[in-house]
Chains A and B, each alone.
Chain A
């Protein structure tokens, strides 16, 4: 499968624990996005990387959230001191930065449940 992959697919954790998710984009894609999707809603933008630089963060991304893309390839999203309100599907998407090419391709997501 040459699409976007995410790991783990499911994560159950207790409130207060830290969790980390990984996203591997399509290999030639230099743009990487994280979105969060709650039940019955569309994805909401969290943060954006171009290569290894984090260029935009949503106000939804509190201080407990941190994302990295150290070598401009895979990315990690860490949530510290998880809260029940963090329960959601975390989606990663990738794309290329050509002026006329805007498509974003999504991974299967990591479903987080905070007990």
Chain B
């Protein structure tokens, strides 16, 4: 069935360093890949997304890359700040027309001052 794998499960970096989170997906028909940030006790918040007709998208300190051939996509955060600490989830839109999202298991990012 449809599956999204996410690595690493935890990531610890020093403030100012870069962080990279990687995901692979199984459904070759997936064409939309959002990333959500979830702080403790709060709702998942959409931070960036990419569609399959684009290889890279950037928004200030965050960027996402997509390799459709290899079926993987990555989130890059540069110049990390303590407020970037959260759990990050990648997701892939399942094929079939109803837009349901298949989520990875999450990456807990800790940014140390």
B100 touches A102 (CB 8 A): no
Q: Which of B6, B99, B102 has the most CB of A within 10 A?
A: B99
B93 touches A40 (CB 8 A): no
A102 to B53, CA, bound (A): 14
Tell me, yes or no, whether B28 is within 8 Å of chain A by CB.
no
Tell me, yes or no, whether B101 is within 8 Å of chain A by CB.
yes
Q: B-facing mask of A1-19, CB < 8 A → 1, else 0?
A: 0001000000000000000
A102-B32, A106-B45, A108-B42 known; A40+B105 contact, CB < 8 A: yes
A43-B89, A103-B34 known; A109+B43 contact, CB < 8 A: yes
B100 touches A33 (CB 8 A): yes
Q: What residues of chain A lie closer than 8 Å to B89, measured between beta carbons?
A: 42-43
What's the least CB distance linking B59 to chain A, in Å? 14
A4 to B42, CA, bound (A): 13
Total A-B residue contacts, Cβ distance less than 8 Å: 61
Count residues on chain A whose CB falls below 8 Å from chain B CBs: 25
What's the least CB distance linking A94 to chain B, in Å? 11
Other-chain residue from B46, B98, B103 in contact with A55 (beta carbon distance below 8 A): B98
A97 to B6, CA, bound (A): 28
Q: A-facing mask of B94-113, CB < 8 A → 1, else 0?
A: 10101111111110000000
Residues of A bordering B, CB below 8 Å: 4, 31, 33, 40-45, 48, 50, 55-56, 91, 95, 97, 100, 102-109
Q: What 3 A-B pairs have minimum CB-CB distances, sorted nearest first?
A: A42-B103, A102-B32, A45-B100
16 contacts between A and B (CB under 8 A): A33-B101, A41-B105, A42-B4, A43-B101, A43-B103, A45-B100, A45-B102, A55-B98, A91-B43, A100-B51, A102-B93, A102-B99, A103-B34, A104-B34, A104-B46, A108-B43
**Beyond A42-B106, A104-B46: 19 further Cβ-contacts under 8 Å?**
A31-B99, A33-B101, A40-B105, A41-B105, A41-B106, A42-B4, A42-B6, A42-B91, A42-B103, A43-B101, A55-B98, A56-B98, A102-B32, A102-B93, A103-B46, A104-B34, A107-B43, A108-B42, A108-B43
